[in-house]
Amino acid sequence: MAQTDPTLTRRTLHYYWQATRNHLGLFIAMVCSTIGFGVLLTYGNPFMMSLIVDRVSAGPVAADQVFQVFWPYIVALIAINLLGQASSKLQDYTLWKLEIAVSYDLATQAFDALSNQSMTFHSNRFGGTLVSQTTKYMNAYSQLVETLTFPFLPVLESVVMVCIILLPRVPVYVAILMAMLVVYAFISYRMYKRILRLNEQAAGAQNNLSGELSDSVTNILAVKTYGREDYERALFDQANREVVARDSKRMMASLARGVITACIALCIMSMVTVFIAGGNAWFGITPGTLVLMFTYTYTITNQFNFINSGLQRLNRAFGDAAGMTTVLDEPRLVADAEDAQPLVVTEGRIEFKDLDFWYTDGDVKTQVFDKFNMTIEPGERIGLVGMSGAGKSTLTKLLLRLSDIQEGEILVDGQNVAETTQQSLRRQIAYVPQEALLFHRTIAENIAYGKPDATMEEIREAARQANALEFIEKLPEGFETVTGERGIKLSGGQRQRIAIARAMLADCPILVLDEATSALDSESERLVQDALARLMAGRTAIVVAHRLSTVASLDRIVVLRDGKIAEDGPHEELIQAGGEYAYLWGRQTGAYLES
């Protein structure tokens, strides 16, 4: 069985306290109103009634003397209830307001943590799981605060009020009661620690279930076209059964704790019954104090019973928050330097100097680049080609700082990208990948993503230059058409042209095209190639391609092999050299056939 990180709960509380501290006034008001509400209505009312009972038991009061004798008690009871109700309503307001305010901060905190993590981080996790963890993390705070407000603060004030009011009157009874409550609390805490681990495991199983569902739904086309519904259902069922097993263990442990604590509560009520029955005869306890003993003991026992459900909610809250707490604790693999400056691009010169980069998978280290050097002049259009795994796409991701190099430098106009802010770097580089990255938003919003303040005329012009205007205008809602999740409502060529229009509108001095045409049909490729030619004009461009016809017309072609430059030069020169590029060209164009 996996062991729970002993610091995880403390780390969760740390993050929650950071958010709560921003609204400290609301938190203090909530605590004070909760205490005031409980003290006044739960303990003030019975205390005043005990004084009335003692006064009544002291001797009869004439009918015409009732108000004269009892008016102080009546006024006190009205004042206690008035203040108690006001505290109750203040508690409702401050609790609700606090949850709203802190939930906003926690959502922002989680979003910032996820959006600022590296691509390596996201490639190793289900998107659906991260969304589920974020939602649970926010909801867990509300559970935690409500558990503090209702079972735990009232229990604390019950112990204090019982000691203050009953200890001077019946010290022996209070001593026995407190001893039994200590046993109750100790057993509850020990079982709480065990159930906390079970809750974290149950939350982890639920996150895996969400991840399986998300993965299957996201790739539903592959599932259906390969007839793998049964296979995906089996995977989902396995994760679902794990959730049932974990929840069942948590349920049995919680029920066992409930039975044990109920037995202790029964002992406590049995003791108070004996004391009330014989208290006056044995110890001369007044009727009013006997009323207080029963009322307070019954109240405190009920509140300790609520601790069971409170601890269960507390366990669930910490278990639900554990996933996102782990994410928040995760170090950023790519982070801005403390003194990072905005990148300023005036020419677009790119230099890779003595580049070392490797990645690890478990204990296996894979070296991608070793002392790699390459320079791209301002406005130069170069193609990166080579066999799969040669490092082509990796090089572009290192330029964008989606991963960080271990040694060496990447310079843009003489500025080390590691010393510039990531946002300013990426705003100077238009990136068009093989699969267009579209949001579930309108076409206009998708095109304007790189320039949110663009006018409609600018958006239309970018679409025109990207050869996208014609098909957009044929859509029933034109530019207001919602593309669907990841642009699913559009064809591959249409999505790619919208991505190119976005890059056109962003007007960055550096352009990176990563297999931007490899998945297109001939007609779509022709339209996209035409759009890309316009996009590359006047810009420093890096084009990653397996299809060599994509790069044949570029200024320079770099052939990578095992993270090193195997060949470098224009298309005609490389063909005449008869090396690796010429071989690949021949294979793709049929320039020669093997016998």
Report the C-alpha dihedral over residues 406, 412, 415, 421, rounded to 10 degrees: -70
Dihedral sign from CA coordinates of 44, 49, 52, 57: negative
SS3 state of residue 593: coil
- Fold exhibited by the domain 346-428+511-520+540-588: Rossmann fold (3.40.50)
Which tokens in the block code for residue 232? 């995906």
- Of the candidates 424, 515, 432, the residue with the CA atom closest to the CA atom of residue 466: 432
Assign domain 8-329 to a CATH class.
mainly alpha
Place of tokens 């558990």: 147
For residue 442, list its beta bridge partners: 482
Residuewise pLDDT in 10s, the chain (595 residues): 333 455 888 899 999 999 999 999 999 999 999 999 989 998 988 999 888 888 888 778 888 888 888 899 999 999 999 999 999 999 999 999 999 999 999 999 998 888 877 766 776 776 777 888 899 999 999 999 998 888 888 888 888 998 999 999 889 888 988 988 888 888 877 777 777 778 778 878 887 888 888 788 878 878 887 788 888 889 899 999 999 999 898 888 878 877 887 888 788 888 888 887 877 777 778 888 888 888 888 888 888 777 767 777 887 888 889 889 988 888 777 788 888 999 999 999 999 999 999 887 767 788 899 999 999 999 999 999 988 888 898 899 999 998 888 899 999 999 999 999 988 998 999 888 877 778 888 999 999 988 889 999 999 999 988 888 888 999 889 999 988 776 777 888 888 888 888 888 988 999 998 887 665 566 666 777 787 788 888 899 999 988 888 888 899 999 999 899 999 999 999 999 999 999 888 887 765 444 3
Q: How many CB atoms lie within 10 A of CB 282?
A: 10
SS3 state of residue 443: helix
Residue 311 burial (10 A CB sphere; 0-12, 13-18, 19+): buried
DSSP codes of every residue in 182-216? HHHHHHHHHHHHHHHHHHHHHHHHHHHHHHHHHHH
DSSP codes of every residue in 239-284? HHHHHHHHHHHHHHHHHHHHHHHHHHHHHHHHHHHHHHHHHHHHH-
For residue 482, list its beta bridge partners: 442
> By 3-state DSSP, what share of the chain in percent is helix, strand and coil, each rounded to 5?
65, 10, 20
The Cα 82–Cα 564 span in angstroms is 81
Give me the residue spans of the domains in the chain.
Answer: 8-329, 346-428+511-520+540-588
Tell me the backbone φ, ψ of residue 207, rounded to 5 degrees: -65, -40
- Of the candidates 437, 555, 440, the residue with the CA atom closest to the CA atom of residue 496: 437
The string over 433-466, giving b where at least 16 C-beta atoms fall within 10 Å of a residue's C-beta and e elsewhere, is bbbbebeeebbbbbbbbbbeebeeebbbbbbebb
Q: How many CB atoms lie within 10 A of CB 93?
A: 14
What is the pTM (predicted TM-score) of this model? 0.68
SS3 state of residue 346: coil
